[in-house]
Amino acid sequence: MQRSDLIQKYAAVRNVTHKICEPLQTEDYIVQPVPDVSPPKWHLAHTTWFFETMLLQKFSKQYTPHQSLYGYLFNSYYQSLGPRWDRQNRGTLSRPTVKEVFKYRSAIDERIAELVYEVPETDWDDFSSLMVLGLNHEQQHQELLVMDIKCILGLNPLYPSYLEQVQTANPALPVMEQKFIRFPGGLHEIGARGDGFYYDNEAPTHCVSVADFLLADRLVTNAEYLEFIEDGGYGEFRHWLADGWDFIQQNGISSPLFWRKVEGSWHEVTLSGLDKLIPENPVCHVSYYEADAFANWSGKRLPTEQEWEVAATTAGVDPSRGNFLDDNLLHPRSASAVAQDGLQPRQMLGDLWEWTGSAYLPYPGYRRQAGPLGEYNGKFMNNQMVLRGGCCATPRDHIRISYRNFFQPEKRWQFSGIRLADDPR
Ligand SMILES: [Fe+2]
């Protein structure tokens, strides 16, 4: 990539982060309502710390840190980069102020803009690939920012609005009947290929053997999930994994994270406040445990990540049609609102991350990189499940068919939904 193209891309990506924060009030930047949620101020500083640490400290001659303790405050989980402030206490810090964090961003942006033209040709490949990683890291945090803002506002009983109106369903369109598309089994190659950026956890490409399988042509809707609830789904241990059953008992869970019953009718917290639940929209903010229990109750199952990737590749799904951060809906659309070619499954890219039945494990031949970047993905490869496809808070140019997201099975503050799979009978 040319130097001018790289710095343009840098400015564009950094600017998206600022755009996401524009509707916030100063107080919204600071709070941490639950340990999983980081204050927006922390995201703004942490993504900046990443560029400062991985790029400026490595390539800039005689660089002195912007503030010597920011490394301690804004390092997320890199043990090789020293001690860190506790994640669960990120919301306890009133300083640095929001203003100071924005100044920190500007200062690092200025230094990066200079550095792009100072780096010698001999270091360019190394430098530019770290810059691209930093930009992808910032895009991951853009999605996290939206998730965290939704929790900060949505767990507040005033249900403040972030977006004027979340437009999600088109009542003129009929609810789409769920159909299952048959995909042929056999040996298939999966994993990231090509020259573009991908994370180390998407490689190496390798062959997998899958049997013939059926995949739903759309996501599970709120109406379908409501049937599960009304059928006593949360009260019947037979549908649940043992850990999932314990988790919902211990935490008093009986509906998706943002569902609220108001005067006898179901509502949903969205980024524009508390709205009536729209039955034809996809159910979202469910944990792996809930997705798996719903699939069991339906007499179906979740797809494996291999099946998901084979289906997406075979069908030729394309991010240009998906509902992503760029569309600024920040909520999944109903399947009827999605354009479709022939028997292509809808909503596979964008709308919601889809839980798969696959544990997050290294692909055959995967090796962690040396140094701090070896901590980016590899050390999380246990006790988490893979999700595929991106969501309405993912930047469109950040997603790929081979992209592997991962969360612990009880987490549900991410935009996660359910697509069913089945075996031909
Ligand atoms: Fe990060």
For residue 141, the CA-to-ligand 1 centroid distance in Å is 7
**Ligand 1 mean position to 76 CA, how many Å?**
6
Question: Rounded to the nearest whole angstrom, what is the distance from the C-alpha of residue 419 to the centroid of ligand 1?
Answer: 28
Q: What angle do CA 67, 71, 77 make, to 5 degrees?
A: 165
Query: Residue 61's pLDDT is what?
Result: 87
Measured in angstroms, how far is the CA atom of residue 134 from the centroid of ligand 1?
Answer: 9
In 3D space, the residue among 303, 331, 307 whose CA is nearest the CA of residue 391 turns out to be 331
Of the CA atoms within 13 Å of residue 240, those in its CB half-sphere come to 22
CA–centroid distance, 376 to ligand 1, in Å, is 8
- Report CA(73)–ligand 1 centroid distance (Å): 13
Tens of pLDDT along the chain (425 residues)?
899 999 999 999 999 999 999 999 999 999 999 999 999 999 999 999 999 999 999 999 889 999 999 999 999 998 989 999 999 999 999 999 999 999 999 999 999 999 999 999 999 999 999 999 999 999 999 999 999 999 999 999 999 999 887 766 666 677 788 999 999 999 999 999 888 999 999 999 999 999 999 999 999 999 999 999 999 999 999 999 999 999 999 999 999 999 999 999 999 999 999 999 999 999 999 999 999 999 999 999 999 999 999 999 999 999 998 999 999 999 999 988 777 666 789 999 999 999 999 999 999 999 998 888 888 888 999 999 999 999 999 999 999 999 999 999 999 999 999 999 999 98
**Which is nearest to 52 in space by CA: 38, 37, 68?**
68
296 C-alpha to center of ligand 1: Å? 35
Secondary structure (3-state) at 210: strand
pLDDT score for 374: 87
Which one, of 360, 347, 361, lies nearest residue 417 by Cα? 347
Measure 46 CA to ligand 1 centroid, in angstroms: 7
Q: Which helix (H) or strand (E) holds 273?
A: strand 273-276
Residues near ion ligand 1 (CB < 5 Å) are 76
Q: What is the pLDDT of residue 56?
A: 97
Q: What is the pLDDT of residue 171?
A: 67
pLDDT of residue 174: 74
Specify the pairing of strand 213-216 against strand 273-276: unpaired
